[in-house]
Amino acid sequence: MANDSTLKTSHTQENYLKALYHLTLEKKEVTVNDLAKRLDLKMPSITSMMQKMANEKLIKYEKYKPIKLTEKGKKEAAIIIRKHRLTEMFLVEKMNFGWEEVHDIAEQIEHIQSQKFFQKMDDMLGHPALDPHGSPIPDKYGNYKQLDQKTLDQADLNTTVVVIGLTNSSDDLLRFLNSKGIKLGSEMVIVEKEPFDGSMKVAVGKKEMMLSSTVSAQLFFQVKK
């Protein structure tokens, strides 16, 4: 009874796992405070959940030390992320949602318990490697292929680049990009770079526009060859 492997990770814990996974990729040292901010909870809530998740061997946790996912925790997290990103892709590709509309729905659907449901999505989509925002979709075993990509603020003057992903997919960023007509696959030429504030002028097709460093630092690119 103590070690029933059919015990289901709760909805809530799945969200903790995901947050931990993402923070780990961002920072390597994840603290109680980081998690509290990410999940918009108070620190005591985090501490107490960390104690519980450590018991369940999802994380390694010692008082006052940084939090680490175990292999088990990593795998479970990656599988939720897979379900999230497959869902986003499904919503965009098969149900005609805009890329700025899908995150909140995926945040809920990622918790559906049905391997077959996500298997069908995956099949219908032809086993996509990336979600609609250019982020990699872990495989069904929880393996994650991290692409290390450079952001647009590091692109050289006069090169032609292709936008291939986003560091994050906040509604605000996505709507900003929509308004500028920028999407994944968009090509642009780096026309000017302003060293003072890091802003740049780019040409997307015939349209020229200024991008602040705030924006350009959130776009992954590849040099067009």
Chain contacts with DNA (rule: CB under 7 A): 10-13, 31-34, 36, 40-52, 63-64
Residue 112 interacts with a second copy (CB under 8 A)? yes
Residue 103 binding target from DNA, Mn ion, a second copy, none, CB below 5 to 8 Å by type: Mn ion
* Closer CB to DNA, 8 or 225, in the complex: 8
Give the CA angle between residues 77, 78, 84 to the nearest 5°: 95
Q: How far is the CB of 127 from a second copy (least distance, A)?
A: 16
Residue with tokens 């809920």, as numbered in its chain = 108
Q: How far is the CB of 79 from a second copy (least distance, A)?
A: 16
Residue 124 interacts with a second copy (CB under 8 A)? yes
Residue 101 interacts with Mn ion (CB under 5 A)? no
Q: Which of 177, 176, 198 is nearest to 188 (CA)?
A: 177
Q: With H, G, I as helix, E, B as strand and everything else as coil, classify residue 216.
A: helix
Using the CB atoms, write b or e for 54-67: b if 16+ within 10 Å: beeebbebeeeeeb
Q: How far is the CB of 120 from a second copy (least distance, A)?
A: 5
Neighbours of 83 (CB within 10 A): 26
* Closer CB to a second copy, 15 or 47, in the complex: 15
Among 3, 5, 6, 96, the residue binding a second copy under the rule CB under 8 A is 96
Say if strands 207-211 and 219-223 run parallel, antiparallel, or are unpaired: unpaired
What's the one-letter identity of residue 44? P
* Closer CB to DNA, 33 or 168, in the complex: 33
Residue 175 interacts with a second copy (CB under 8 A)? no
Cα distances (Å, whole numbers) of residue 102 to 124, 133, 174: 18, 10, 11
Residue 13 binding target from Mn ion, a second copy, DNA, none, CB below 5 to 8 Å by type: DNA
Residue 12 binding target from Mn ion, a second copy, DNA, none, CB below 5 to 8 Å by type: DNA
Judged by CB under 5 A, the number of residues near Mn ion is 3
Cα distances (Å, whole numbers) of residue 146 to 20, 26, 62, 129, 169: 16, 12, 28, 11, 17
Residue with tokens 């059919």, as numbered in its chain = 6
User: 131 is written with which tokens?
Assistant: 């979600």
Which spans of this chain sit near a second copy (rule: CB under 8 A)? Answer: 91, 94-97, 101, 104-105, 108-109, 112-114, 116-117, 120-121, 124
Binding residues for Mn ion (CB under 5 A): 15, 103, 107
